[in-house]
Structure 1
Amino acid sequence: MKKTVLVFVYGSLLKDEVNHYMMKNYPCLAENVWIYGRLFDARLEYPFLIIDDHKKVLGELYEVPVIDVPILDEFEDYNPIGTDNLYERKVVTVHKEDKTWEAFVYVCNQEEMLVNEIMEDSWRAFRNKPISHS
């Protein structure tokens, strides 16, 4: 049985973001990796993601012990036997140049949260963009 799994993070779990403390003890295998998806701003400290074949979302790839996956599930409000989860845990292909990995990612399961699409390809780019005063 596998002792570790890969997890793609794209929002508040990224390095230097508010919830990175959840990932800091796990090895970051790759930065500036991407999956196909779209981000949405929930006006919170974190974004929502949906899978989409036409856009890329940048993030980081971590190696997490299987025994710790339930901790991440709870943090992401995901219950494997639940139906009203805020997020669902999916397996996606993570890309970097000529390399790919299969990894878990947490995607939004509450359609009503998908209101304000983020046009940037990363949570950091969105959070660091200048504010328009028009």
Structure 2
Amino acid sequence: MRHRVFVYGTLLRGEVNHGLLVGAGFLGGFRTRPCYSLFLLGAYPGVVKGGRTQILGEVYEIDRACLRRLDRLEDYPRLYDRQQIQTPYGRAWIYVYRGSVEGCRVIRGGDWRAFAADPDSVRAAGVRAVRDAKTYDFGKAV
């Protein structure tokens, strides 16, 4: 069975976890409706429902095995929930953060890449090198 997934952070092309999308078909870029907020959760972002921000990302067509890999990365259903959104490519899963965002920095504009590329951002100063549960898998970089 094929699924579609909307990615907005470390799964984007060129990001640390993009390799988990091996074999996925890139369908195109997409910006969500303005009903979310994007937060910095350490070395990765998290989308939360409720807000006025459009989230910029990419849509992929994936198989069941890839969906299981992504569920593992996102610690679904404990840390993230999977919800369906409408995209120009059909309905797609988006991972929505379930934890507290109290004290977390908002990524204005909903664009992880722009935030990460900003030379003054916390992330640009070395967050890519940080290894945590989402960027380090059993002793090797993902």
TM over 0.5: yes
Q: State the 1:129 CA deviation.
A: 1.4
Aligned partner of 2:79 among 86, 94, 98: 86
Could you report, residue by residue, the CA deviation over 1:5-63 in whole angstroms, capped at 9, with x for unpaired residues? 100000000000011001132011112x011322101121x101112362100000000
Dislocated runs of 4+, deviation >4 Å: none
Structure 1: give runs of 5+ residues left out of the alignment.
Answer: 80-84
Structure 2: give runs of 5+ residues left out of the alignment.
Answer: 122-142
Corresponding residue of 2:71: 73
Aligned partner of 1:107 among 96, 108, 115: 96
Q: Which has the higher strand share?
A: 1
Q: How many residues align?
A: 119
RMSD between aligned residues: 1.9
Question: Which residues in structure 2 correspond to 1:1-134 (within 5 Å)?
Answer: 3-31=1-29, 33-36=30-33, 37-44=36-43, 46-52=44-50, 54-79=52-77, 85-94=78-87, 99=88, 101-112=90-101, 115-131=104-120
AA aligned opposite 1:34 = R
